[in-house]
Amino acid sequence: MHIIAPDITMAAIAPALVVFCAGLGLLLLGAFLPSLVRAVSTGVSLAALVAAGVLEFGLWGRTEQAFSGALVIDGLGVFAACAILAAAILTVLQSASASCDRVTSCDHTEYHALLLFSISGMLCMVAANDLLIIYLGLEVMSIALYILTGFAKRDQASNEAAFKYLLLGGFSSGFFLYGCALLFGAAGSTGLSVILHVISGPGAAPGPMLMAGIALLLVGFGFKVSLMPFHMWTPDVYEGAPTAVTGFMATVVKVASFTAFARVFICSLAAFRPAWNGAFCALAVATMTVGNLTALRQENIKRMLAYSSIAHSGYLMVGMAAARHAPSDPAMAGILYYLVAYSLMTLGAFVAVTLVSNTERERVAIDSYAGMGFQRPLLAAALAVCIFSLAGIPPTAGFMGKFYVFTAAVKSGHVWLAVIAVLNSVLSLAYYLRIIVVLYMREDAAENLCGRFSAPAVLALAVAAVATLLLGLAPGSLMAAAKAATAFIP
């Protein structure tokens, strides 16, 4: 009898495993020690995330498959995982602030456990080399997020947001799964390497089943990264969720989803580029334009940042339209750099919102930020740096990200896409500048700007703002890492 020993490479799943077990451990702790202080959960989460980060660093430079092709250890996965872990650390720090007390006070172990589960799902997703593993990671990530969205139990908006997210997310996962099934039918396997091999083979022609599968996969991914026709859930969910969770969703979900998106489309479906590239361009234009136009009318800062994140997905899609499956592809490197820059600046903005909110309610009306520029100058300066970075004004990381992505677009011949993208940047300035105007050029608001000082959140904001500036002035090392990360398989 021939027994095939399973190919288990612990290194590939070690980071995800560490995070997952920490989450389980927190759940148990919370069950047996109900009077546990929040600092302990924060500490355990941070320790787990840092440990996972160290393990990920150890994987840098390897390119191999694991678990018989189900997972893969390569530059793209490691880079994305490190970005996710860094953003997650900032989120955990942000959650330790006073205004999050309202949300997490009794159930902080569950809160942190759910965060950790979500992150473990993402770590699985970015290392996945198989459509079903991507789906697995996607679902673990999303289900934890559905619950986190509704974590403010007594807040109606939060409940509504969670319900919307659950329904729409469930539908989109269904689309994704059906797409996986059709692709399986067409290619004979759900492994990305096998699909690549089959469809780049000599006799492969895009039959209706394959095209339908690709379209459905596009829908599934499009939902997760808020592309234009599938973006309707984003403003409501981002607005209703507690701010710390919104910051988490806006950043790391996009990083993970875009990584998986890139693996599936740019890598394994590369042979059919003419089929889906036009769709990418159209989606990019639609997403950017709709995101920016709708953000112009927003009065709620969380909603405005939600629409701005939709617009940034559009800019990232410009990069995706330009990307190719080649080593050191400038578009792929640009997308990775942009994802890191975007995570930092968006998190910075959300942490600033947390810091000026207090335990009763969140400060979300833009007009209520009036005069903050001179009342709380450091906080306003950090927020202003993040806003200028989101708008893409030098010398910030946001500008460098856009520069790299648009350069790649021009290099690959999509000049008109770049023109539309830069015009959209100017359009976005109109609403980003509104925040600056309110911060600095208006007289003080009638309300009392009392958010409580909270060291971890201030640390998170400082890290985000300083990193945004530094990456804008000296992007070389991160860009080199991103370029090295594009040596990805299959």
Residues lying near other proteins in the complex (CB under 8 A): 374, 377, 388, 393-395, 399, 403-404, 406-407, 410-411, 415, 418-419, 422-423, 425-426, 429-430, 433, 436-437, 440-441, 475-476, 479-480, 483
Distance CA 295, CA 219 (A): 23
**Which among 323, 382, 322, 325 has a CA at the least distance from the CA of 349?**
382
Minimum CB distance to other proteins, residue 430 (Å)? 6
Q: Is the peptide bond before 395 cis (omega within 30 degrees of 0)?
A: yes
Minimum CB distance to other proteins, residue 415 (Å)? 6
**Structure token pair of residue 371:** 């005069």
Minimum CB distance to other proteins, residue 471 (Å)? 12
Task: Identify which of residues 374 and 453 has a Cβ nearer to other proteins in the complex.
Answer: 374
Minimum CB distance to other proteins, residue 437 (Å)? 5
Task: Identify which of residues 15 and 373 has a Cβ nearer to other proteins in the complex.
Answer: 373
Place of tokens 């039918």: 185
Minimum CB distance to other proteins, residue 320 (Å)? 18
CA dihedral 112, 114, 117, 122 (to 10 degrees): -100
**Which among 243, 206, 154, 257 has a CA at the least distance from the CA of 460?**
243
**Which among 266, 273, 364, 360 has a CA at the least distance from the CA of 316?**
266
Distance CA 77, CA 134 (A): 12
Minimum CB distance to other proteins, residue 476 (Å)? 5
The contacts of residue 435 (CB under 8 Å, 6+ apart) are 301, 366, 369, 383, 387
Task: Identify which of residues 114 and 465 has a Cβ nearer to other proteins in the complex.
Answer: 465
Task: Identify which of residues 194 and 336 has a Cβ nearer to other proteins in the complex.
Answer: 336
Task: Identify which of residues 28 and 430 has a Cβ nearer to other proteins in the complex.
Answer: 430
Task: Identify which of residues 179 and 334 has a Cβ nearer to other proteins in the complex.
Answer: 334
Place of tokens 């900032």: 90
Task: Identify which of residues 126 and 333 has a Cβ nearer to other proteins in the complex.
Answer: 333
Minimum CB distance to other proteins, residue 252 (Å)? 27
In one-letter notation, the amino acid at residue 174 is G
Phi, psi values for residue 152, rounded to 5°:
-80, 85
**Which among 79, 196, 169, 202 has a CA at the least distance from the CA of 477?**
79
